Amino acid sequence: MQPLLSIDAVSKRFAAHRALAEVDLVVEPGEFIALLGPSGCGKTTLLRCIAGFLTPDEGRIRIEDEDITRAPPYRRPLNTVFQSYALFPHMSVADNVAYGPRRAGVGRREAQARAAEALALVGLEEMGTRLPRALSGGQQQRVALARAIVNRPKLLLLDEPLSALDLKLRRRMQIELKHIQEKLGIAFIFVTHDQEEAMAMADRIVVMNAGRIEQTGTPEAIYRAPATRFVAEFVGEPNLIALEPAGPGHARLAIGGAELPAASGMRFAMARPEDIVLVNGDVPDDLATFPGVVEEVLAIGPLTTLFVRCGETVLKVARLGMSGVELRPGSPVTLGLRPAALHLIAE
Amino acid sequence: MAASRTTLALLLFAPLAFFAAFFLAPMAVVALTSLTTDDGGLTFAHYARILFDQYHWDVLWVTFRIALATTALCLLIGFPLAWYLVRIVRWRSWRRACVILIVVPLFTSNIVRSFGWMVLLGRTGLVNQGLMGMGMTERPIRFLGTETGILIGMVYILMPFVVLSVGNALAKIDTALEDASADLGVGPARTFWFVTLPLCLPGAVSGAIMVFALAVSAYVTPALLSGGQITVFSMLIFQQYSSVFDFHYGGALSVTLLVLTLVLVTLAGRIGERGRRAA
């Protein structure tokens, strides 16, 4: 199938600052893509280039067959949900949503009907006559979404649309957005700096750093097999254990000393906190064990994290529920991990 | 909070008393005087004299015509100027310099500025010399003693009010709104018409009301630039108070001007409101 959006080697500079460096990205129809990265990584710049508010210095952006690299925003077959919502304060909610169809020449009645339909989709059918400022932040967010999908674009861009909402509302909107996206079959490109949000919603995550794409992949791939140390550290909390060379094709863990097959050039083995276990009594054969001393116990309810010092490094060990809260700082423990299950990182 | 009741009452009373003493009282005195005769009896004769005399209507018409034209020109020139300052100027010190250039004239007296225009607009003034130098006219154009001359002076003096209030409204518009309009498929011209303009309309209306109110009651500029050829209403009032010493008749003239101005300003406000709602 022909890709919906293809971005080829797009670069953008702001004076001396390189905001985007030869970014490539392909988005399939109906896909939910999260652009994830710290602030200043170029994710919003990339989104603005796709929307047409910025023109790339180099490279090409195509939607289906059409080259839109230099097309003005009002000639692009896509819509945007803005971070600040950007609702027109002088128009009612219904007029805000009907604005696109109205200006495109759709009759007043037809436009109002479409607006009502879009508002119903986001659960705001009752609010049409109100002014945006009379709505709560969450409701304004929904109006912005309704206004952006009323024309049924093939591609919707969302610029940190949930960042102004409180945590509970945010969780609810994440699920709702995902449902709306699946129902309409519109491709979403969703900018966020919140890795949990990206993991919860996206089909594919694009991790960006310093104007470059570090890795593109499913949430699982990004989490289990990060391509770089940056991705490992930005998504979740990794334990990075240094590798020492141990003959051709092999390396030795700096902690515990277990040997494992490793291509040359691999410098770290990554273990997620849930990959490391506390060992009591019998040890399975494939588990490498080593001693440590508890430094800190952090229990947040569903998860308890132990910070265990093993020589130079402090390892994070996650346990479900409140198990492990009885351990006190200073307690000696034995940790275990499966060397074969570790993911290796070069840099 | 029961204790704050007295405080609240005092807080309300203080500004109320201030307004009563400095705004209402003088107006009441003028209004009362306009309704009385020299020996203190009630009369509407002064108003009858104004309403049934064609001359007053002629002067009123000239006054309002000049004020409306001044307001229109101030908007027409002030809006692009405000746009330039808020949207186009990127260099902060240049913008500050422009704002100072616009505001500083407000600190000098009207008389000085009107005299300046008398010099500039005279037969051998800079304006006529320039026009003739460029070959745009063969003989000097008469500005002084014409409505055009008065208009030039008034527009110059009152322009800052429009620039400042429209500029303020423009600066408050989130440019993301224009982005959103473009994103929804609407080109720049129609975005201006449907989004930007309605949002600065309140600023434009308040600027226009200020300009109109000041233009209708202006005395110094029309007096100096009319060269005795044109009479506006404030001149009639001034004559009654300063030369004829007929405070009753002068008061009636003042109240007439005030009422007519209020009616027009209210109408303009309504239009502004409706325009805002319709958009």
Going from N- to C-terminal start, the domains of chain A cover 5-229, 237-345
- In B, which residues are within 8 Å of A75 by CB distance? 185
Whether B104 maps to a domain, the answer reads yes
Determine whether the interchain pair B185/A88 forms a contact, defined as Cβ–Cβ distance below 8 Å: no
The shortest CB-CB distance from A86 to any of B174, B276, B277 is to B174
Contact between chains at B185 and A72 (C-beta distance less than 8 A): no
B138: in domain: yes
User: What b/e string do you get for B87-125 counting C-beta neighbours within 10 Å, with b at 16 or more?
Assistant: eebeeeeebeebbeebeeeeeeebeebbeebbebbbeeb
Residue B154: name the closest of B212, B234, B107, B239 by CA.
Answer: B212
CATH (one of 3.40.630.30, 3.40.47.10, 1.20.1560.10, 3.40.50.300) for A5-229? 3.40.50.300
Domain-located, residue B13: no
SS3 B186: coil
Give me the residues of B, 198-257, that contact A with CB < 8 A.
198-199
Residue of A nearest to B190 (CA): A103
Question: What pLDDT, in 10s, does the model give residues A29-76?
Answer: 999 999 999 998 999 999 999 999 999 999 999 999 899 999 999 999
Work out the minimum CA distance from B201 to partner chain A, whole angstroms. Answer: 11
Of A74, A75, A84, the CB nearest to B176: A84
Say if residues A60 and A214 touch (Cβ distance below 8 Å): no
| Residues A202, A234: Cα–Cα separation, whole Å | 16
Q: Which residues contact A99 (CB under 8 A, 6 or more apart)?
A: A88, A91, A147, B181, B184, B186, B194
- Considering only alpha carbons, which residue of chain A is nearest residue B188? A74
Contacts of B272 in chain A (CB under 8 A): none
pLDDT at A210 > cutoff 80: yes
Token readout for A21 is: 């460096």
Q: Of A44, A27, A129, A34, which is closest to residue A84 (Cα–Cα)? A: A44
Domain count, chain B: 1
B55 vs A: CB within 8 A = no
Across A156-166, average pLDDT: 91
Neighbours of A216 (CB within 10 A): 17
CATH of A237-345, one of 2.40.50.140, 2.60.40.1220, 1.10.10.10, 3.30.420.40: 2.40.50.140
State how far residue A315 is from chain B, nearest Cα, in angstroms.
Answer: 45
Whether the per-residue pLDDT at A322 is higher than 80: the answer is yes
| Among B174, B184, B193, B195, the residue to mutate for chain A (most A Cβ within 10 A) | B184
Q: Which residues of B touch A52 (CB under 8 A)?
A: 182
- What ipTM was assigned to the predicted interfaces of this complex? 0.85
- Residues in A whose CB is inside 8 Å of some CB of B read 51-53, 72-75, 79-80, 82, 84, 86-91, 99-100, 103-104, 147-148, 151
The mean pLDDT of chain A is: 91
Strand partners, A81: A158
What does the CA dihedral A241, A245, A250, A253 come to, rounded to 10 degrees? -20
- CB contacts of A80 in chain B (<8 Å) are 179-180, 183
B186 and A86: CB-CB below 8 Å?
Answer: no
Which parts of chain B sit beneath pLDDT 70? 1-3, 272, 274-279
Return residues 16-35 of B near A (CB < 8 Å).
none
Q: Which residues of chain A lie closer than 8 angstroms to B279, CB-CB?
A: 90-91
Displacement of CA A153 from its chain's centroid (Å): 22
CB-nearest to B199 from A79, A87, A90 is: A90
Could you say which of A73, A87, A90 has the minimum Cβ distance to residue B183?
A73
Task: For residues B268 and B273, give the distance between their C-alpha atoms in angstroms, rounded to a whole number.
Answer: 9
Q: What is the pLDDT of residue B37?
A: 83
Strand partners, A217: A205
Contacting residues of B for A87, CB less than 8 Å apart: 180
Contact B185 A86 (CB under 8 A): no
Nearest to A158 by CA among A183, A182, A177: A177
Q: Which of B209, B211, B261 is CA-nearest to residue B233?
A: B261
CB contact under 8 A, A52 and B198: no
Cα angle: A208, vertex A77, A138; to 5 degrees: 65
**CB contact B181 to A (< 8 Å):** yes
Contact A144, A160 (CB under 8 A): no
- Among A73, A80, A90, select the one facing B276 at the smallest CB separation: A90
Q: What is the dihedral of CA B12, B15, B16, B21, to 10 degrees?
A: 160
Residues of the domain holding B92: 29-278
Average pLDDT over residues A201-226: 95
Task: Report yes or no on B271 lying in a domain.
Answer: yes
Question: Are A84 and B174 inside 8 Å of each other by CB?
Answer: yes
pLDDT score of A188 more than 90: yes
Q: Tokens standing for B63?
A: 């006054």
Q: Describe the strand order of the beta sheet including A332-337 as a list of residue ranges.
A: A277-278, A332-337, A288-299, A303-310, A313-320
Residue B96 belongs to domain with CATH number:
1.10.3720.10
Q: Which long-range contacts (CB under 8 A, 24 or more apart) does A129-136 make?
A: A129/A92, A129/A93, A129/A94, A130/A92, A130/A93, A131/A89, A131/A91, A131/A92, A131/A93, A132/A85, A132/A87, A132/A88, A132/A89, A132/A91, A132/A93, A132/A96, A133/A89, A135/A93
CB pairs under 8 A between A and B: 63
B72-86 pLDDT tens trace: 999 999 999 999 999
